[in-house]
Amino acid sequence: MHYPVTRLRRLRRNAALRDMVRETILTRHDLIMPLFVCPGKGVNNPISSMPGNSQLSVDFLVEKGKELFDQGVQSVLLFGIPESKDETGEVACQHNGIVQQATRALKKEVPDLYLIADICNCEYTTHGHCGTIVDGDVDNDQTLETLAKQSVSLAEAGIDMVAPSDMMDGRVGAIRTALDNNGFHNLPIMAYSAKYASAFYGPFREAAESAPQFGDRKTYQMDPANGDEALREVALDIQEGADIVMVKPALNYMDIIHRVKTSFNMPVAAYNVSGEFSMVKAAAAKGWIDEKRIVHELLTGLKRAGADLIISYHTQDIIQDL
Ligand code: PBG
């Protein structure tokens, strides 16, 4: 009889031992919670496809910010739903823009909550595309100007970090230059570097009221079939001054997360997007899965793949277990 000399089961025999040899541990410092801010006072509009998430007016957003911070959440990512939209997203560049207001209020009331702003035009344009339309398509270089303006305006309002999600070529460089020219040398950029044209953003477009009114985003977001191209996107963003690079969505793109992490010595963020969140919530509501265990397994998997930071709508639900 030949017995195995190496028995991997030896280290799995009890909980203390498993704790001692665990390779990946999810902590509250890894997580960023997205929030949606809308005009008005006393407004809490639940987002039906994303249970537990709402569009909140600034007063309620501040309450939410305090609650999250007290529970151990360090950082939030802000999305704005403006009062009115325009052709080019100029409404996002105004001193009194919705995210600018939210930033000032949060900085005043919850000063240690780290604030990141999504930089894009799709929530602010009447047509729902991520930039200025010329001849039926988003014009890259005109859009760079509004993105840079939006970033500077949010920096002036007190944002801690900007996160461009538009996928225009050269936007990280344009934003970096504009921030530097206005004295914001120390404000970091987290670039949505490898952002795919994904069906997983469906629920978000209800949340942010940002669905494109014609066409789709395939002339600027990446083809889900491509991996090498993601590395080229990341390399360019790093050259242009990105401080953190992001892969989005997360779960279907763990190979990309891994390749980015191993190819560049950079902090990597993964965006566990709305559709990924809603699938878990829907299955949990049916009683088909154990939500807590599933979420832990999913997010730990992202970290194991190479993500240093995870943006997730599950953040508040799990923060107290970490
Ligand atoms: C804005 C933006 C989107 C998301 C984050 N920033 C939507 C999109 O590109 O259509 C998606 C986030 C999510 O699905 O959770 N451009």
Tokens of 115: 């604030």
Tokens of 320: 């107290």
Q: What would the pLDDT profile of 66-120 be if each residue is shown by its tens digit?
A: 999 999 999 999 999 999 999 999 999 999 999 999 999 999 999 999 999 999 9
**What are the residues whose beta carbons fall under 8 Å from the beta carbon of 57, sequence distance 6 or more?**
37, 38, 39, 40, 41, 42, 43, 44
Q: What would the pLDDT profile of 115-164 be if each residue is shown by its tens digit?
A: 999 999 999 999 999 999 999 999 999 999 999 999 999 999 999 999 99
Residue 67 is assigned to a ligand binding site = no
Q: What would the pLDDT profile of 39-70 be if each residue is shown by its tens digit?
A: 999 999 999 999 999 999 999 999 999 999 99
Global ipTM = 0.97
Cβ distance 215 to 186 under 8 Å? no
**Ligand 1 atom 14 nearest Cα:** 201
Mutate to test the pocket of ligand 1, among 166, 210, 310, 314 (most ligand atoms within 8 A of CB): 210
Q: Which atom of ligand 1 is nearest to the CA of 201?
A: 14
Give the residue extent of every domain in the chain: 24-321
- Report CA-CA distances (Å) from 237 to 138, 168, 202, 233: 20, 11, 26, 6
Task: Give the pLDDT of residue 162.
Answer: 98
Tokens of 237: 């963003």
Mutate to test the pocket of ligand 1, among 33, 165, 278 (most ligand atoms within 8 A of CB): 165
**Ligand 1 atom 10 nearest Cα:** 201
Average pLDDT over residues 300-314: 98
Residue 205 is assigned to a ligand binding site = yes
Task: Give the pLDDT of residue 170.
Answer: 98
Does residue 166 surpass a pLDDT of 90?
A: yes
| DSSP secondary structure letter of residue 86 | B
Average pLDDT over residues 187-208: 96
Answer yes or no: 66 catalytic.
no
Q: What would the pLDDT profile of 249-285 be if each residue is shown by its tens digit?
A: 999 999 999 999 999 999 999 999 999 999 999 999 9
Of the candidates 196, 197, 182, the residue with the CA atom closest to the CA atom of residue 270: 196
Say which of 248, 261, 281, 303 is annotated catalytic: 248
Task: Give the pLDDT of residue 190.
Answer: 99
**What are the residues whose beta carbons fall under 8 Å from the beta carbon of 294, sequence distance 6 or more?**
280, 283, 284
Q: Does the domain at residues 24-321 carry the CATH identifier 3.20.20.70?
A: yes
Task: Give the pLDDT of residue 1.
Answer: 83
Residue 297 is assigned to a ligand binding site = no
Does residue 18 surpass a pLDDT of 90?
A: yes
**What are the residues whose beta carbons fall under 8 Å from the beta carbon of 66, sequence distance 6 or more?**
109, 110
Average pLDDT over residues 187-214: 96
Per-residue b/e over 258-292, b at no fewer than 16 CB within 10 Å? Answer: bbbbeebebbbbbbbbbbbbbebbeebeeeeeebe
Task: Give the pLDDT of residue 260.
Answer: 98
Comparing 269 with 2, the larger pLDDT belongs to 269
What type of residue is 109? E
